[in-house]
């Protein structure tokens, strides 16, 4: 016998499990059954690739309970573990998620202590895949007997959840693993003996492990008719399969309720919420496949972190192949969960080659199209649900439009919805165009978080008067999306604060052109005074009430500049052109015009004052606030003389 120490992380986890106030202790069974099923999957997969391995068709997971000894045993005939694997898998937590798991568990514990929430339903154990240790929630001793497919010897691992465990060499006839849990004594809070109850185990299997692809068998006591004696029954032990096995995606759509699809999702993807929607595809074509896809009703907490792995599970004829086949789902749909089962996949090639096969590419293209069309459908038929989807994942759709230089923009553009100035609900681009004013040519947009912020923009003066609707863009990626889209239905996109506006009637247009010529010396003088700060100074075609505003030239906008500046490795010289626009109908314009005529020098101060105002309105910092404030004071004193 050899005694070894658990690794530090494992100790902490064990300790947390043992002292856990986590009430959902029953999930230990699901975790161990799932490990058993994984081990059989591995055996099966290997045997397909390795001719020398014995093929078998007697895969099974066997459960047994012993009331007297107070034990539960879970046995599989899967791949088993070698000595090294035993130590590496059960004596160490190799999983990167374990540290996070420990944090989560602690948080949960704290919340519970403070009676803040009741999160019993939240399955954090499943989320982090630290299944084996969950045995210690119900057991004070665990014995694992295992023999690897590649080994002639077997090993026994024994642990009481303390700092050490022991390993012994044992005789074991068959490859596979047998885990025996010695249940804890009943306490006031918890009755551990329930797990030696046949009925409890049967229910737990139904609840958590019904779709496990291998039979989960148990000897159960049944009342059977006594042979030859009418109406006489006796109790007999019968080996029964407790799970249905037929995977839900193979069942006829009409035989499965939405609740069942949702339950499957919750159990498989460890979400305590119902999904937003599920999509079942049965495709017969060049490649045949069944796919069961889910769109969650909330973004996973780590969706945008590097650790998040997108992908769908891949099965062939119900046999599990790969957990996260990332080739099956494009990046922007990374939030989609689900699986694909196809009989047309060759299992005899390596997983790497399989993932790059043309069958997988075909399935992926097809799945993407189906998801998009289903979302389109949702938008048209259940807008509230769509809205909820878009709140969670709209940003992903936007990335999809922008990605790959807009390759998919035509497919995705109608999924975009925006808040707008004139509408109380979010609308599509199609709706925007439909509602455009008769004389309106372009689709206007403004980058802002709220409607009020857009309304307060001086650049909106004339647009407000004309009652043109304006798309409100809240996200960093939005302007990039717009620039990739370029136009919708023949209408170009137009920023309210970028480039020239084309909103005036002919007379007014002429008047401004003339004024631009007439006042050229004044405008040039202001430009000269603001040299290095602005690229141009113009009489505005968009201001009616405000005195000044800043706009950017075509190309890079202010918003894009802000976003790009936050990104690493972006060229420092990427800058928006700044154009200062003056309202020729404003009293201030007349005032500085006159002041300039009287004293050419005075323009320097006025220019700076106007420019600083425009900067402040735009939300930029001004260069020299102290000087600005002194100039304001001077002005006030002067005007009072
Ligand atoms: P996970 O299953 O998420 O990897 P576990 O803590 O449940 O985490 O198990 C750790 C590892 O122990 C597994 O990845 C597997 O390699 C091994 N293992 C657990 N149970 C079995 C089993 N019944 N047969 C073979 N290997 C197993």
Residue 91 near ligand 1, beta carbon < 6 Å: no
Other Cβ atoms within 10 Å of 353 Cβ, number: 10
Q: Give the closest residue to 316 by CA, choosing from 244, 250, 242, 245.
A: 250
Q: Domain with 107 in it: what CATH number?
A: 3.30.565.10
Name the residue with higher pLDDT: 493 or 571.
493
Atom of ligand 1 nearest to the CA of 176: 24
Tell me the CA–centroid distance for residue 35 and ligand 1, in Å: 5
CA 459 to the chain's CA centroid: 36
Q: Give the closest residue to 18 by CA, choosing from 131, 187, 140, 144.
A: 140
In this structure, is residue 396 part of a structural domain? no
Q: Determine the pLDDT at residue 122.
A: 45
Lowest mean pLDDT among 111-120, 402-411, 599-608, 626-635: 111-120
Half-sphere exposure of 79 (CA within 13 A, CB side): 17
Residue 97 near ligand 1, beta carbon < 6 Å: no
Residue with tokens 């010289």: 573
In this structure, is residue 24 part of a structural domain? yes
Determine the Cα–Cα distance for residues 437 and 466; give it in Å rounded to an integer. 9
Atom of ligand 1 nearest to the CA of 85: 16
Instruction: For residues 226 and 265, state if they share a domain.
Output: no
Q: What are phi and psi of 150, to 5 degrees?
A: -100, 10
| Spatial contact of 264 and 338, defined as CB atoms under 8 Å apart | no
Residue ranges in 117-197 assigned as alpha helix (H): 124-128
Instruction: For residues 90 and 211, state if they share a domain.
Output: yes
Strand, helix or coil for residue 442? coil
Q: Number of folded domains in the chain?
A: 4
CA separation, residue 305 to residues 49, 100, 394 (Å): 35, 13, 17
In this structure, is residue 529 part of a structural domain? yes
Instruction: For residues 481 and 544, state if they share a domain.
Output: no
Q: Domain with 585 in it: what CATH number?
A: 1.20.120.790
Q: Both ends of the chain: CA-CA distance in Å?
A: 102
Other Cβ atoms within 10 Å of 554 Cβ, number: 11
Q: Which mutation among 59, 61, 90, 132 tests ligand 1's pocket best, with the greatest number of atoms within 8 A of CB? A: 132
Instruction: For residues 96 and 199, state if they share a domain.
Output: yes
Residue 159 near ligand 1, beta carbon < 6 Å: no
Residue 134 near ligand 1, beta carbon < 6 Å: no
Sign of dihedral through CA atoms 219, 223, 224, 227?
positive
pLDDT in tens, 472-504: 999 999 999 999 999 999 999 999 999 888 888
Residue 89 near ligand 1, beta carbon < 6 Å: yes
Q: Determine the pLDDT at residue 239.
A: 95
In this structure, is residue 291 part of a structural domain? yes
Pick the residue whose CA is nearest to atom 4 on ligand 1: 129
Tell me the CA–centroid distance for residue 379 and ligand 1, in Å: 43
Burial bucket for residue 181 (CB in 10 Å: 0-12, 13-18, 19+):
buried
| Spatial contact of 150 and 27, defined as CB atoms under 8 Å apart | no
Average pLDDT over residues 138-149: 96
Strand, helix or coil for residue 218? strand
Residue 241 near ligand 1, beta carbon < 6 Å: no
Its pTM stands at: 0.66
In this structure, is residue 399 part of a structural domain? no
Atom of ligand 1 nearest to the CA of 31: 7
Determine the Cα–Cα distance for residues 116 and 113; give it in Å rounded to an integer. 8
- Give the model's confidence band at 123: pLDDT under 50 very low, under 70 low, under 90 confident, else very high: very low
Name the residue with higher pLDDT: 113 or 72.
72
Instruction: For residues 478 and 517, state if they share a domain.
Output: no
Pick the residue whose CA is nearest to atom 16 on ligand 1: 89
Q: Domain with 335 in it: what CATH number?
A: 3.30.230.80
Instruction: For residues 145 and 199, state if they share a domain.
Output: yes
- Give the model's confidence band at 93: pLDDT under 50 very low, under 70 low, under 90 confident, else very high: low
| Spatial contact of 12 and 112, defined as CB atoms under 8 Å apart | no
Average pLDDT over residues 92-109: 60
Q: What are phi and psi of 86, to 5 degrees?
A: -60, -45
Which of 363, 384, 405 represents a domain boundary (last residue)? 384
pLDDT in tens, 372-382: 999 999 999 99
Instruction: For residues 536 and 596, state if they share a domain.
Output: yes
Q: Is the pLDDT of residue 560 over 50?
A: yes
- Give the model's confidence band at 328: pLDDT under 50 very low, under 70 low, under 90 confident, else very high: very high
Residue with tokens 């998040």: 308
Which of 365, 384, 403 represents a domain boundary (last residue)? 384
Instruction: For residues 479 and 609, state if they share a domain.
Output: no
Tell me the CA–centroid distance for residue 132 and ligand 1, in Å: 6
Q: Give the closest residue to 447 by CA, choosing from 398, 395, 482.
A: 482
Instruction: For residues 235 and 259, state if they share a domain.
Output: no
Which of 445, 475, 495 represents a domain boundary (last residue)? 495
CB-based burial, 367-402: b 16+ in 10 Å, e otherwise: bbeebbebbbebbeeeeeebbebbebbbbbbbbbbb
Q: Domain with 445 in it: what CATH number?
A: 3.40.50.11260
Pick the residue whose CA is nearest to atom 10 on ligand 1: 89
Which DSSP category does 580 fall into?
E
Q: Is the pLDDT of residue 291 over 90?
A: yes
Determine the Cα–Cα distance for residues 99 and 83; give it in Å rounded to an integer. 25
Average pLDDT over residues 501-525: 92
In this structure, is residue 542 part of a structural domain? yes
Instruction: For residues 107 and 181, state if they share a domain.
Output: yes
Q: Which two tokens stand for residue 602?
A: 């005075």
In this structure, is residue 500 part of a structural domain? no
Residue 534 near ligand 1, beta carbon < 6 Å: no
Atom of ligand 1 nearest to the CA of 74: 23
Instruction: For residues 488 and 528, state if they share a domain.
Output: no
Average pLDDT over residues 598-620: 91
Instruction: For residues 378 and 423, state if they share a domain.
Output: no
Burial bucket for residue 636 (CB in 10 Å: 0-12, 13-18, 19+):
exposed
Which DSSP category does 132 fall into?
G
Determine the Cα–Cα distance for residues 284 and 302; give it in Å rounded to an integer. 35
Determine the Cα–Cα distance for residues 550 and 616; give it in Å rounded to an integer. 10
CA separation, residue 332 to residues 73, 222, 274, 399 (Å): 44, 53, 22, 6
Q: Is the pLDDT of residue 68 over 90?
A: yes
- How do 312-316 and 443-447 pair as beta strands? unpaired
Q: Give the closest residue to 354 by CA, choosing from 393, 385, 325.
A: 325
Pick the residue whose CA is nearest to atom 19 on ligand 1: 35
Residue range of the domain that includes 555: 506-639
DSSP bridge pairs for 218: 63, 240
Residue 131 near ligand 1, beta carbon < 6 Å: yes
Q: Which two tokens stand for residue 187?
A: 């306490």
Residue 149 near ligand 1, beta carbon < 6 Å: no
The per-residue pLDDT of the chain, averaged, comes to 89
Work out the angle at residue 476's Cα, subtended by the Cα atoms of residues 473 and 477, and round it to the nearest 5 degrees. 85
Atom of ligand 1 nearest to the CA of 179: 23
Q: Which mutation among 9, 29, 38 tests ligand 1's pocket best, with the greatest number of atoms within 8 A of CB? A: 38
Beta-strand runs (E) in 196-355: 216-225, 233-241, 277-283, 289-295, 312-316, 319-325, 337-341
Q: Give the closest residue to 25 by CA, choosing from 243, 270, 189.
A: 189
- Give the model's confidence band at 120: pLDDT under 50 very low, under 70 low, under 90 confident, else very high: very low
CB-based burial, 408-429: b 16+ in 10 Å, e otherwise: bbeebbbbbbbbbbeeeebbbb
Q: Give the closest residue to 366 by CA, choosing from 313, 394, 315, 327.
A: 327
In this structure, is residue 407 part of a structural domain? no
Atom of ligand 1 nearest to the CA of 94: 10
């Amino acid at each position: 016998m050899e005694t070894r120490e658990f690794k530090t992380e494992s100790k902490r986890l064990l300790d947390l499990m043992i002292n856990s106030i986590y009430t959902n202790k029953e999930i230990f069974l699901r975790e161990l059954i799932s490990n058993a099923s994984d081990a059989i999957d591995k055996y099966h997969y290997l045997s397909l690739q390795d001719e020398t391995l014995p093929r078998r068709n007697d895969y099974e997971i066997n459960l047994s309970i012993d009331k007297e000894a107070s034990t539960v045993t879970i046995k599989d005939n899967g791949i088993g573990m070698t000595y090294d694997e035993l130590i590496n898998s059960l004596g160490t937590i190799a999983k990167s998620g374990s540290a996070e798991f420990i944090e989560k568990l602690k948080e949960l514990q704290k919340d519970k202590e403070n009676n803040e929430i009741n999160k019993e339903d939240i399955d954090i154990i499943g989320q982090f895949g630290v299944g084996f240790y969950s045995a210690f929630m119900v057991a004070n001793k665990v014995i694992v007997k295992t023999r690897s497919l590649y080994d002639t010897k077997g090993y026994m691992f024994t642990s009481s959840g303390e700092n050490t465990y022991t390993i012994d060499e044992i005789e074991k006839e068959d490859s596979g693993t047998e885990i025996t849990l010695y249940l804890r004594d009943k306490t006031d809070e918890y009755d551990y003996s329930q797990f030696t109850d046949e009925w409890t185990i049967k229910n737990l299997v139904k609840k958590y492990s019904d779709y496990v692809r291998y039979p989960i068998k148990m000897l159960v006591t049944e009342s059977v008719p006594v042979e030859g004696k009418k109406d006489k029954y006796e109790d007999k032990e019968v080996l029964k399969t407790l799970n249905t096995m037929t995977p839900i995606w193979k069942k006829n759509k009409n035989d499965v309720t939405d609740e069942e699809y949702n339950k499957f999702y919750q159990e498989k993807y460890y979400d305590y919420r119902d999904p937003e929607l599920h999509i079942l595809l049965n495709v017969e074509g060049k490649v045949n496949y069944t796919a069961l896809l889910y769109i969650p009703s909330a973004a996973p907490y780590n969706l945008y972190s590097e650790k998040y792995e997108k992908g769908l599970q891949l099965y062939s004829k119900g046999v599990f192949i790969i957990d996260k086949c990332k080739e099956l789902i494009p990046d922007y749909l990374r939030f989609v969960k689900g699986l694909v089962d196809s009989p047309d996949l060759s299992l005899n090639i390596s997983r790497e080659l399989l993932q790059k096969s043309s069958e997988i590419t075909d399935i992926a293209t097809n799945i993407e199209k189906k998801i998009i069309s289903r979302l389109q459908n949702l938008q048209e038929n259940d807008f509230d649900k769509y809205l909820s989807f878009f709140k969670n994942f709209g940003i992903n759709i936007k990335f999809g439009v922008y990605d790959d230089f807009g390759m998919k923009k035509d497919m995705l553009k109608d999924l975009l919805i925006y808040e707008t100035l004139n509408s109380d609900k979010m609308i599509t681009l199609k709706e925007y165009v439909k509602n455009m004013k008769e004389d309106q040519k372009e689709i206007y947009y403004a980058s802002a978080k709220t409607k009020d912020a857009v309304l307060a923009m001086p650049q909106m003066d004339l647009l407000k008067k004309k009652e043109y609707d304006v798309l409100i863009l809240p996200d960093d990626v939005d302007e990039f999306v717009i620039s990739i889209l370029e136009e919708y239905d023949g209408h170009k996109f137009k920023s309210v604060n970028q480039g020239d506006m084309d909103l005036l009637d002919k007379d007014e247009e002429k008047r401004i052109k003339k004024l631009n010529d007439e006042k050229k010396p004044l405008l040039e003088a202001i430009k000269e005074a603001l040299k290095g700060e602005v690229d141009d100074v113009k009489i505005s075609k968009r201001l009616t009430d405000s005195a000044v505003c800043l706009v950017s030239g075509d190309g890079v906008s202010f918003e894009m500049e802000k976003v790009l500046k936050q990104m690493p490795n972006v060229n420092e010289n990427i800058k928006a052109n700044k154009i200062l626009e003056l309202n020729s109908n404003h009293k201030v314009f007349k005032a500085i015009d006159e002041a300039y005529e009287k004293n050419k020098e005075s323009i320097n101060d006025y220019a700076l004052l106007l420019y600083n105002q425009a900067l402040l309105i735009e939300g930029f910092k001004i260069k020299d606030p102290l000087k600005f404030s002194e100039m304001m004071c001077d002005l006030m004193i002067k005007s009072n003389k």
